[in-house]
Structure 1
């Protein structure tokens, strides 16, 4: 590969612009359903299509494969900025403290956490990619997309058209749905009699229980990507939580109803109880998976010796600088004692190594579990201090999330012979752009977290999980109602059991425990649409495999990006108006 056609100004600028464009998509999706979308392949499609068009018009030379890698790396680093805490610990802290951080402080904090993740990733690169190469499925897929695009220009253009067409359709429908022509949300035709604690009250409608179909193409796109197992698990979890436990709790009186209007959603009141089994299932399953991965990796734990590009000194200096920035940011912005702030850095490094190993083997980042482990540690070192609990865990989760994502970029670069030092420069630029754009978009979307989050409009399941764990560690499990504590223990046991069964027998016959838990903390309408999207994607892959291989990812990415951008634009206009 031509090493002189990598770190060009147009590659960096193009990646920064694409990152600024796509970062709001992940902020929006993270606050809606707690998930983010790896935009590496989307950025490749957009960048290659743009420069191919300019080359045909003889306005520019075609983009080289190395430049494509730098563009994708910059954009991916920017869009993954939400792992710095923007859709989980930072809003959770804002809900507990009563308000958001000022813009300058929020930008500085998110940058510091993500900057640490860059240097942790570079430190781990030699052991996980060069000497003991792990699959890193997302990175491998990106590398294959890179090589294919620069071999088959016509195919890349076709995929780009599919992506843009799907994006335009999703954006238009979202714009109409959030305006005066709202799309119908049909219920499932369920109506339950009012009995027990609700005697004399109107019957419970399906819409009270959020059992309606959300006409969201973004959710359908996510469903097509996550696969049919996760989709069906979401459906099962939604039925258990919102069609079984919810009505049971309403009848018994340990879950409170909302407004008596049959068309109104009772999500805000029901989630106060359903949150506990959902969080317990999520945490227990992910922690069990983490333990199993650690046991499997113990004998083959990679070293951290000299990198293949001889940049040991630069890497060590960068890691030291990033660590110092995180410690200073904790003490100056949040008033955390310097010793606790310092202790968060080695914990973050160790947990980031674990997360990177898991991502390298499975492609799934256990960031939620990493954060909970760190929260438990902070609960021991700083009992009762909710700020120290959330921010210390934010360092670990943010560094782990960013480093795991960037190792996928390193994997793609290694496959095509890219220079890792150039990728680090691209990552630093991407993190800087993402910190500014992501923070400003979040502050505009959610000016009042205490009243706007953990609602049907903004379910924010990740925020709810972090907030609940911080409150519980501060007050103790004795503060829970007996029914919630019993549900928590049963759900935790189910999470452990399902993960062990999956480990022993494989995932095909066992529901996804994390998906089951997630379905309990988001409206059932979201889970139903996600499941529908997964079924459509599965049917296409089964009966039209070649068509699915060529266009399914591009179409799903377009639906996600189009609706997210349109939803962000409509929300920002509403706030500004």
Structure 2
């Protein structure tokens, strides 16, 4: 929600600008976006999409469930876990943004969009990295998102002027004044798309059949769940995702629901109704998709760990060996200290010429914000201690007697360590592999949880939720900090804004979650909580429970196949191989496989719209992204109207 929140924040403050006694500049815009984005992170970050529904609705009595969690306990849980990932991101900022200058494509794209919106005043100065550091289309992993290399070429008339700031580092890109009529067209496009989406959302409440159209015929709809949901938000999400990801999702839907589902049904491996998660092919397919997801995530995480390790060994090992042979222990000790610093000159023992791990050694780190705009080490340490303590207290209050204290501490340690991997992956690929991080935690916890424990599934789910929450919060904040760094916003202001947004979002998401579960049937036709099933099935898998017939064979084969494809994609992205976009991405295929086809078809249409507009017509991406943002905002906001209509018992037509 970074770009939509930036757009709607700009539109609002533009309307009330005459009532303000201070200007609304790109700096204020990125701060608004940071707060709003942190609010939007909380439903997923606090587990209200997957873990909490799994605990409340999917656990069996022998698994000590299902749990009944009061609204107050949900709020305590959400507030307790919403801060530690935000605080932990602070010490990572200088490493990944200032020193290593990782790309964070969505954060950079958000900064450029804010620059576009403010460009009419001619004062939207945007400090960009040199062209070699800008993200290039095709380098992202699972998401084809708006990337600034394309936007800068077509949507902005950029006058590139080199400027020397203090040490002479950095290239300044000043956004020239954009035409006022062009700005009005963009705002009108946002407003019209918002209105169309809002109208559809309200109409779909009174005519719910609109969300389940049997476009391939009634037999395929009734027997195999091939329906179409023309949701504007789904189409818009596909536009932002891009054609590569959405077509891979379509490939997963065809394999899962067009091949594996009929096969499992005909062979008797899933004899129940197709829509049944226990005996039907929907529940059988999810195991294969889970294996694909795990294989993709483990390969991706392994590369995140292996790449810098190989770089360090390649760059430093020959010199380190020479140090042991030719120098005294004092020199070796000095070398080790300097090596641990990572960015200090290592002369005379080592003189690095070209480090692949980071160009910061030779080119110098980027210029950072003034000291008064940074978060001090003392504040970071105090905040980390307080946030972790609050998390521990909240977990043991909301789930009293269900998870031991030592396992909670272990879960938090793993969450902090795996957050580093998630942030690095996000900075390099624009994909935060939180699903893989949580599954890895679930696997590790299966090894330390006593076999036969009645609470084993609950412990497994809570541990995975903590690791996912930390990685998600740290990654989202880092995208915002990247945008803020490019626009010159104070990191301290963004940090405190993120804390405020996280607190508000935690309380709101808990209340809205409980409102939805009280009004709608969960799981049900509209809210099938597929992510919750994935969480529970993973917990049951790693804790040793049995699998449906033929699942082990098919899951193993799919896992091996997509481990290979992920390796090829990773290699292709690093070498610039153009054919990498045609290699199916494991996460995208798995998402298309475990969600019903209606989830995927509308997003695929959005991806094709993006392909036609940007690739075939060669138009700039900014208008189509604004269109998508309006569609998402319209359905998102007016779904609350539908919720209120349902809560008051307003009948459907």
Answer whether contact 2:210 2:229 (CA < 8 A) is retained: no
- Unaligned residue ranges in structure 2 (runs of 5+): 60-64, 122-179, 313-339, 344-367, 574-579
- Residue 269 of structure 2 aligns to a residue whose secondary structure is coil
Matches within 5 A, 1:124-273: 124-152=92-120, 154=180, 155-180=182-207, 182-183=209-210, 185-189=212-216, 205-258=220-273, 269-273=280-284
Answer whether contact 1:167 1:559 (CA < 8 A) is retained: yes
- Residue 526 of structure 2 aligns to a residue whose secondary structure is coil
Of Structure 1 and Structure 2, the greater helix share is in 1
Q: For the residues of structure 1 that align with 2:431 and 2:96, how far apart are their CA atoms?
A: 16
After TM superposition, give the deviation of residue 188 of structure 1 in Å. 5.0
Bigger drift between 95-104 and 350-359 goes to 95-104
Equivalent in the alignment of 1:20? none
Query: Residue 354 in 1 paired to residue 421 in 2?
Result: yes
Q: For the residues of structure 1 that align with 2:249 and 2:32, how far apart are their CA atoms?
A: 35
Change (3 A) 1:387 1:314: same
After TM superposition, give the deviation of residue 481 of structure 1 in Å. 2.4
Answer whether contact 1:445 1:572 (CA < 8 A) is retained: no
Query: Residue 390 in 1 paired to residue 461 in 2?
Result: yes
Higher radius of gyration, 1 or 2: 2
After TM superposition, give the deviation of residue 120 of structure 1 in Å. 0.8
Match of 1:461 among 509, 520, 530: 530
Deviations 1:243-300 (A, max 9, x none): 11111222222223439xxxxx678833121111111111211221111122113356
Q: For the residues of structure 2 that align with 1:133 and 1:490, how far apart are their CA atoms?
A: 38
Change (3 A) 1:489 1:313: same
Cα RMSD after superposing both structures: 2.5
Answer whether contact 1:213 1:525 (CA < 8 A) is retained: yes
Answer whether contact 1:51 1:62 (CA < 8 A) is retained: no
Deviations 1:508-564 (A, max 9, x none): 220121111111211112212211211111101123333x42211111122122122
Answer whether contact 1:461 1:521 (CA < 8 A) is retained: yes
Match of 2:476 among 401, 405, 417: 405
What number of residue pairs does the alignment pair up?
516
Q: For the residues of structure 2 that align with 1:408 and 1:87, how far apart are their CA atoms?
A: 22
Match of 1:115 among 72, 83, 90: 83
Match of 1:327 among 389, 392, 397: 392
Query: Residue 516 in 1 paired to residue 589 in 2?
Result: yes
- Unaligned residue ranges in structure 1 (runs of 5+): 1-38, 192-203, 260-264
Match of 2:522 among 426, 442, 452: 452
TM-score, reference length from structure 2: 0.74
- Residue 96 of structure 2 aligns to a residue whose secondary structure is helix
Bigger drift between 292-301 and 459-468 goes to 292-301
Equivalent in the alignment of 1:561? 633
Query: Residue 526 in 1 paired to residue 604 in 2?
Result: no
Equivalent in the alignment of 1:482? 549
Query: Residue 315 in 1 paired to residue 380 in 2?
Result: yes
Answer whether contact 1:217 1:563 (CA < 8 A) is retained: yes
- Residue 151 of structure 1 aligns to a residue whose secondary structure is helix
Match of 1:433 among 474, 499, 504: 504
Answer whether contact 2:423 2:475 (CA < 8 A) is retained: yes
Equivalent in the alignment of 2:357? none
Change (3 A) 1:508 1:536: same
Matches within 5 A, 1:18-167: 39-55=1-17, 57-58=18-19, 61-81=22-42, 82-95=44-57, 96=59, 97-152=65-120, 154=180, 155-167=182-194
Equivalent in the alignment of 1:471? 540
Change (3 A) 1:303 1:132: farther
Answer whether contact 2:519 2:643 (CA < 8 A) is retained: no
Q: For the residues of structure 2 that align with 1:146 and 1:189, how far apart are their CA atoms?
A: 42
After TM superposition, give the deviation of residue 241 of structure 1 in Å. 1.1
Match of 1:540 among 586, 605, 613: 613
Deviations 1:330-360 (A, max 9, x none): 2222132211111222211100000000001
Answer whether contact 2:276 2:283 (CA < 8 A) is retained: no
Q: For the residues of structure 2 that align with 1:85 and 1:58, how far apart are their CA atoms?
A: 40
Change (3 A) 1:480 1:434: same
Bigger drift between 41-50 and 292-301 goes to 292-301
Deviations 1:457-478 (A, max 9, x none): 223232121111112233x15x
Change (3 A) 1:61 1:270: same
- Residue 258 of structure 1 aligns to a residue whose secondary structure is coil
Deviations 1:83-107 (A, max 9, x none): 2212122222222232452122212
Q: For the residues of structure 2 that align with 1:184 and 1:557, how far apart are their CA atoms?
A: 20
Equivalent in the alignment of 1:36? none
After TM superposition, give the deviation of residue 574 of structure 1 in Å. 1.4
After TM superposition, give the deviation of residue 310 of structure 1 in Å. 6.2
After TM superposition, give the deviation of residue 480 of structure 1 in Å. 1.1
Answer whether contact 1:461 1:518 (CA < 8 A) is retained: no
